[in-house]
Amino acid sequence: MLDANQCWDVGQAINHVKRLAKFDPWWIEEPTSPDDVLGHAAIAKALRPISVATGEHCQNRVIFKQLMQAEAIKFCQIDSCRLGGVNEILSVLLMAAKFGIPVCPHAGGVGLCEYTQHLSLFDYICVAASLENRILE
């Protein structure tokens, strides 16, 4: 897995990851600005079979819905504190399940990690019913 931390534009992301493809990365995380839905879609299309993971800087379900509809992400990375509450998170978990996209929560710090554990458990029990393809970052 690679993490660009939003430092590239679309062309740079495609070029850099293609150069790194020989290392067989599973995904590129945050290759460009988190709200650039069409940019992520272009990156995802150009880099297949390397996947795109993003979402830890997305603030609401609308951006996630657009990313999923545009086939711009293969891994959904919610940040439970940035996403604005349990109801917003549940919406994203349900959308991800509908689109068949695994949720790999972003966490860091004691409080966020505790929050993420509870939401991951909810996802496992009530939505995904599987730990397959679930990765905690």
CATH number at residue 13: 3.20.20.120
Q: At what angle do helices 37-47 and 61-69 cross, to 10 degrees?
A: 40
What single DSSP character describes residue 53? E
Query: pTM for the whole thing?
Result: 0.86
Task: Return per-residue pLDDT of the chain as tens, 137 residues.
Answer: 999 999 999 999 999 999 999 999 999 999 999 999 999 999 999 999 999 999 999 989 999 999 999 999 999 999 988 887 889 999 999 999 999 999 998 887 667 788 888 888 888 888 877 656 555 55
The residue range of the domain holding 106 is 2-128
pLDDT score recorded for residue 134? 54
Q: What are phi and psi of 99, to 5 degrees?
A: -85, -5
pLDDT score recorded for residue 91? 95
Judge whether 52 lies within some domain: yes
Judge whether 107 lies within some domain: yes
Judge whether 135 lies within some domain: no
- Domain count along the chain: 1
Judge whether 134 lies within some domain: no
Judge whether 136 lies within some domain: no
Return the amino acid letter for 70.
A
CB 31 within 8 A of CB 17: yes
d(CA 61, CA 53): 16
Token digits of residue 68: 């999923």
DSSP H helices, 1-137, are: 10-20, 37-47, 61-69, 86-99, 110-122
Judge whether 100 lies within some domain: yes
Judge whether 81 lies within some domain: yes
